[in-house]
Structure 1
Amino acid sequence: MPPIRTPRSVKAATELLERYAAIEGDIALIENVRNAAIAEANKSADAGAEPLIAERDLIREKLAPWWKDAAASLTAGNRKSIELGGCMIGTRAGRDSLAINGDEDAIAEKLSKRDWAKPLVRVVTRLDKKAIMKSIDGVYRKQLAALGLSRKAGGEQFFVERAEQGGTVAGARA
């Protein structure tokens, strides 16, 4: 890579920008090749794994009722699982979860009104920044300013990007 210098003329800047656009195009082509290769690798792996996954699931389906009948004799009633045939087989307790019989929001509302239940209800209060930005110059501007809220101007940001070529698929504007 040759040294890149800060341009001192429009001609020099134009040459750098032309090179920049060419690089962007090359990067896009490389990304497309990469994505196509990844998609092909995924397709190949899925094709190879699909019948194995189906067979594995069928074996699991057939083992479940067998384990239910054989577990007590194989574990002498002292365990929930054993190692057999290079696998661990057994049962495990699932996590308990909260059953809610009724409207969850209505129950939360009722709990929030009881002092003893306050730790059981989560209340989240956040600034609605979008709504505040709409109101910042309006009727409540003084009250919002007193609270420490004000409009912060967006700073200028330098950008350079490849321009789409008119008349091409990528350059077509809707």
Structure 2
Amino acid sequence: MIEPPKDLAEATRLLERIARLDARIVARHGVRVAKIAQINASADRLLVPALAQRERLVERLKPWWNSDEAKAARKTAKSIVLGGCKIGTRESAASLTYEGAAEDFGLAQLQAEKWAKPLITVSYSVDKTKTREALSSKRGDALKAMGFGERQATVFFVSSVKLPTLGR
């Protein structure tokens, strides 16, 4: 079992130790962030030009893929292995399109048809922010009778003062 401090002086000493540890943690975290930034910058200096060059080469190959020579090489296949690479085309995932001018993606048209009901979804959810606000309004008693309320926990914390945070 962890023994709590016996008095204010002992609690103060423990908190001073925590403050020193937090300072060390923040400093080490800063070093880590700086080193990661250096590594990323170094990797970017190597990767960015190679990625750009690769993209340019792919762009050069796109028109060739539709040439008679490429069509003869692949016959009916959608892709082939050539020069250590697989080259070809593939279908993206299908997505629904709507060519009408309606901003609601045709919802009004579907709602007008009885047979289209299974094609429409309706979603409802409780607006928690507005419901919390309404708890202190004239409808508060009715909401409380329905079982709504607010809970706010008291959370113990220890944090050093005048130190940058680590995103905690």
Answer whether TM exceeds 0.5 for this pair.
yes
Q: State the partner residue of 1:67.
A: 65
For structure 1, the residue ranges without an aligned partner over 5 or more in a row are: none
Higher relative contact order (CA 8 A, sep 6+): 2
CA distance in 2, matches of 1:43, 1:128: 44
Q: State the partner residue of 1:29.
A: 27
Shift of 1:12: 0.5
CA distance in 2, matches of 1:15, 1:109: 69
CA distance in 1, matches of 2:131, 2:142: 12
Q: Cα RMSD (Å) of the superposition? A: 2.0
Counterpart residue identity of residue 144, structure 1: L
Distance 1:106 1:58, change over 3 A: closer
Cα deviation digits, residues 76-104 of structure 1 (max 9, x gap): 2x211111111101112233322223234
CA distance in 1, matches of 2:105, 2:57: 45
Distance 1:24 1:109, change over 3 A: farther
Cα deviation digits, residues 93-124 of structure 1 (max 9, x gap): 23332222323427324433543222222221
Alignment partner of 1:97 out of 71, 95, 102: 95
CA distance in 2, matches of 1:137, 1:75: 71
Counterpart residue identity of residue 149, structure 2: S
CA distance in 2, matches of 1:113, 1:148: 38
Q: State the partner residue of 1:85.
A: 83
Q: State the partner residue of 1:107.
A: 106
Counterpart residue identity of residue 56, structure 2: L
Q: State the partner residue of 1:119.
A: 118
Contact 1:71 1:90 in 2 (8 A): no
Q: State the partner residue of 1:147.
A: 146
Distance 1:133 1:146, change over 3 A: same
Contact 1:81 1:91 in 2 (8 A): yes
Cα deviation digits, residues 14-42 of structure 1 (max 9, x gap): 00000001111111111111111111101
Q: State the partner residue of 2:13.
A: 15
Aligned length: 161
Identity of aligned residues (%): 36
Distance 1:132 1:113, change over 3 A: farther
Helix, strand or coil for the counterpart of 1:41? helix
TM-score by length of 1: 0.83
Distance 1:116 1:146, change over 3 A: farther
TM-score by length of 2: 0.85
